[in-house]
Amino acid sequence: MRYKNKRTVLIYMLVFLLVSLAGMLYSERQFFNNFSRIFYGGIIVVWAMTVLRRIIEPQIKGLLIENAVLLLLLILFQALRFQFEKGNVTVHRFMWYCYYIPICFLPFVSLKLSLRCGRSENVKISPLWDLFMLPSMALSILILSNDKHHLAFRFPDIGGAGYNVYTNGPVYYIAIGWITLTLAATIVIVIVRFASKPVRKDSWVYYVVLAVSAYFLITDYFGAAPVVNGIQFLSPLETFAIFIVCGWEACIQTCLLPSNSGYRYFFINSGLIARITDSKGNVKLASKGADSDWGKVKENYRILERDVWGGKLSFAEDMSAIKRSNRELQEISERLHEENSIQEAENALQADRVHVAVMNKLYDDITDFSEKKIEEIEELLKTADDDRSFRKNLEKACILASYIKRRGNLYLLGEETKEYDFNDLFLSYKESLDYFSLDGTQTLLTKENTESLEKDIVLAAYDCLEGILEKISGKTKSLLVNLDSDVKGLKIRFMYDMKPCPGLENAAIEETEIRRFAGSYEEKNHDSFEVSVPEDTADGEAADNSNPATSVVVISFKSRPEVAV
């Protein structure tokens, strides 16, 4: 225990002894008779105020304040009891019952506080310990309702002797036993904490408090308590109150209960180079590092000042570590800049490699679907017997060449954007139909809605056009194509005449053929890919084949969920 704390404790003890002796020597005077209770209450209030200032941990602070409040209630009820001693007997008796409430609850609160002794604030105390409050509550209720059952105090002759003559009942002895057991458990826990923590050097203070309190309680029990001027030096209730306050103060002074006192010594012994001066510049407090060479400005230090209440705080900040860190950070920054440049170059090279690999794969895919068409073009250009046949084969070759070019462009465009603009498909259809009309076939391409399209739908739609054109090439005189892309998907309508040509197969197209033109798209999206081939609109083929029948083919790509329109 520090010297200053020892001196404070001795002063409190001296004042306490003087007031107690004055109250006993001059007990016949009403002022001294009440002054002792006021003095005890004042000590408890002052102690509670210091607890609010010194204790940081909320749980410990709350339990200590609960101890102080219960002690004040004990003194208050005792004082009120004697105020009604010669007046209202019922109130006098009820005040007597009431001061058993703090007596029953104080041991429980002390028990909870003992569980916090010597433990970190992060350690959680089991809520099951709160069940120990139930006996205290039950005993308080039984004592307060004693007039109904007389289990705590029994009055054999209320009419004669009144309430001054009584005997203790079973509830009283149970309460005394509960209080004794709880206090004994509290004392044992505190002693165990003293034995297990590095505070045993000053733990004698607690043992002194314990021994003095035990002495007065035991001598009172056997009727041998010190008496001055006919008054007992310390009553059991006063001993109980002083033991509670002094016991927990001893735990605070020996650091078994953590407090925030001693900041002055922490400041002096800290590694800071700082001092506190008053408004006149006089040094009031200085750390060990600030007691010499304060005015000398060092290379690696800078002096900072802050205004505090009644003076100023000055401290030297060591800049050597910061300067060293800045140099190291600068070196690291330069090294990281070089490494980042190398990494950026490597990332750019890797991105180029990935792009080349992707493009190679795209070109390989284009080569795969174009290979067969190129072979057909070469075959058409080789098998012409005369100029007319060569012209017709050249027209078909132009259709195939246009398909290869446009489909390749559409395939590459799909890798750059998530959706196709409608015009990409429309222009591809237009170019293919332009080449299809080289043999004199009349073509017409129209459009309605122009919503954007998905990649798979665009490629499948263009493949279907190519398959139909190859199927009906040279077998029809007119072809009408209508494109309609709305929120429900893409719908393509083909309308062409079906006039048979001598020596050539009929131009009629079956649904299975169109599904074959769509290829893999039809296999993956069978339910959302619809083909409609209505019957011929003509009444039948004319005997002379002069009136061709009209064929209509409708292809629907339902790629989007249907919405209400």
Q: What is the pLDDT of residue 117?
A: 84
Residue 9: per-residue pLDDT: 55
Nearest to 435 by CA among 424, 445, 447, 422: 445
Domain final residue, candidates 213, 236, 261: 261
The answer to the question of residue 337 being in a domain is no
pLDDT in tens, 12-55: 556 555 555 555 544 455 545 556 677 777 788 888 888 887 88
3 state SS for 485-535 = EECCEEEEEEEEECCCCCCCCCCCCCHHHHHHHHCHHHHHCCCCEEEECCC
pLDDT value at position 385? 65
Which residue from 183, 228, 218 is spatially nearest to 21, judged by alpha carbons? Answer: 228
The reported pLDDT for the residue numbered 123 is 78
Report the DSSP beta bridge partners of residue 278: 311
- The predicted pLDDT at position 473 comes to 80
Any domain includes 360: no
Asked, for residue 402, whether it belongs to a domain, the answer is no
Specify the pLDDT at position 109: 92
Please name the residue that has the structure tokens 């190398």. Answer: 342
DSSP codes joined into one string, 362-409: HHHHHHHHHHHHHHHHHHHHHS--SHHHHHHHHHHHHHHHHHHHHHHH
User: Which among 552, 504, 505 is positioned nearest to 532, based on CA atoms?
Assistant: 552
Distance of alpha carbon 115 from its chain centroid, rounded?
Answer: 31
- State which residues of the chain have pLDDT below 50: 1-4, 25-27, 31, 159-161, 297, 504, 537-547, 562-565
Most distant CA pair in the chain, distance: 153
389 found inside a domain: no
Do 275 and 257 fall within a single domain? Answer: no
Are residues 206 and 311 part of one domain?
no
Does 286 lie in the same domain as 172? no
133 and 13, same domain (yes or no): yes
Q: Any bridge partners for residue 479, and if so which?
A: 443, 496
- pLDDT value of position 542: 38
pLDDT of the residue at 348:
78
Residue 353 lies in a domain: no
- Do both 199 and 314 map to the same domain? no
Strand order across the beta sheet in which 273-278 lies? 283-286, 273-278, 311-318, 301-308
If asked whether residues 49 and 149 sit together in one domain, one would say yes
Q: Give the total number of structural domains in the chain.
A: 3
Domain-terminating residue out of 318, 343, 362: 318
pLDDT for residue 4: 47
CATH classification at residue 194: 1.20.1070
pLDDT of residue 139: 92
Same domain (yes/no): 455, 529: yes
Q: What 3-state class would DSSP assign to 283? A: strand
Residue 534: inside a domain, yes or no? Answer: yes
Which residues make Cβ contacts (< 8 Å) with residue 148, sequence separation at least 6? none
Kindly report the backbone phi and psi dihedral angles of residue 121, in degrees, each rounded to the nearest multiple of 5, phi listed first. Answer: -70, -15
Does the global pTM surpass 0.85?
A: no
Query: Do the domain assignments include residue 90?
Result: yes
Strand partners, 447: 483
Residues 92 and 204 in one domain: yes
Main-chain dihedrals φ then ψ at residue 303, nearest 5 degrees: -95, 125
The domain of 289 spans 265-318
Residue 30 within any structural domain of the chain: yes
Contacts of 91 (CB under 8 A, 6+ apart): 84
Query: Using a CB cutoff of 8 Å and minimum separation of 24, what contacts does 534-540 make?
Result: 536/498
Last residue of a domain, one of 299, 318, 337: 318
Q: Are 135 and 205 part of one and the same domain?
A: yes
Q: Taking each helix axis as running N to C, give the angle between helix 100-116 and helix 89-98, from 0 to 180 degrees, rounded to the nearest 10.
A: 10
User: Does 219 share its domain with 281?
Assistant: no
Looking at the fold, whether 24 and 172 belong to one and the same domain comes out as: yes
**CATH code where residue 451 lies:** 3.30.565.10
- Are 114 and 88 in the same domain? yes
